Structure 1
């Protein structure tokens, strides 16, 4: 769309002042700032995945350290996901009163499933845990399920094993 022609001298004067002030700013932005910015598709830097603790050798301290940092980042992300789901559920409850039980049921189901999965992975590890203790928890859970069936289903009877 072509620019409208200024109607009088005053309007032309202010248009020229505007171009003088905006021109260098736009040039710096387009030619210096934008070409030198790192382009990420998200607001945060996408970190590369590192080998997990089960892929590290027992004496490889650097691999263990990287796996532990990756575990901590994953835990923070999973915790934030739980917080977002909880916030959505609470906001749905406030907004949908008094029919919140029916209308917020899918959100509640998603939140409860995510929190159950979070607790399965990170729960009961204590305040000072690391990737090795989480890995051992996973290993012990898998051994339990192999011997006794899924957790929460009760223990297998002696007849079922034979």
Structure 2
């Protein structure tokens, strides 16, 4: 069979195409006339929901509980997103290790490096805060880290003290 095209003029093929059209036309009509216009009108995908960014805790007034609450909720969402990203990277690393077996250290070097970098950054931002931590605790941790880093460098020289 050098030519794989279907000849629509053969009686058997005409019959098959007509049976196909009997089932396909109502479905295609329903999809094009009802489903697609509804999708075009309602373009909200729950898994792509984006929350507006709220002021951070350092932008809130001390006596403004609503701003503090919103900053805390923003912190919890960000922490959850970062934790899920870290979980995905960890799963990629483990799948690569399992798939490549003894060759994993060479083959999975990039995946492992990405995971290690992300886990280090996650620990810098959220580590040692514990489960009940809030945005104030995270802000204080950031402040203490900045002070510690500033004390490690000699003023004006940029050299690290030992």
1:19 aligns with 2:22: no
Q: Which residue of structure 2 lines up, in the alignment, with residue 131 of structure 1?
A: 135
C-alpha deviation, 1:133, in angstroms:
0.4
Q: Which residue of structure 2 lines up, in the alignment, with residue 144 of structure 1?
A: 148
Q: Deviations over 1:110-134 (max 9, x none)?
A: 1111111101110111221100000
Q: Which residue of structure 1 lines up, in the alignment, with residue 113 of structure 2?
A: 109
C-alpha deviation, 1:135, in angstroms:
0.2
Indicate which of 65, 76, 86 corresponds to 2:80.
76
RMSD: 2.6
TM-score normalised to the size of structure 1? 0.77
Q: Deviations over 1:91-111 (max 9, x none)?
A: 111111211111212211111
Q: Which runs of 5+ in 2 are unaligned?
A: 1-7, 154-159
Aligned residue runs from structure 1 range 1-162, under 5 A: 7-8=14-15, 12=18, 15-16=21-22, 18-20=24-26, 22-31=28-37, 33-39=38-44, 43-149=47-153, 156=161
Against the structure 1 CA distance between its residues 17 and 104, is the aligned structure 2 distance closer, same or farther, given a 3 Å change threshold? closer
| Separation in structure 2 between the aligned mates of residue 43 and residue 15 of structure 1, nearest angstrom | 36
TM-score normalised to the size of structure 2? 0.77
| Separation in structure 1 between the aligned mates of residue 133 and residue 79 of structure 2, nearest angstrom | 11
**What is the number of residues matched between the two proteins?**
146
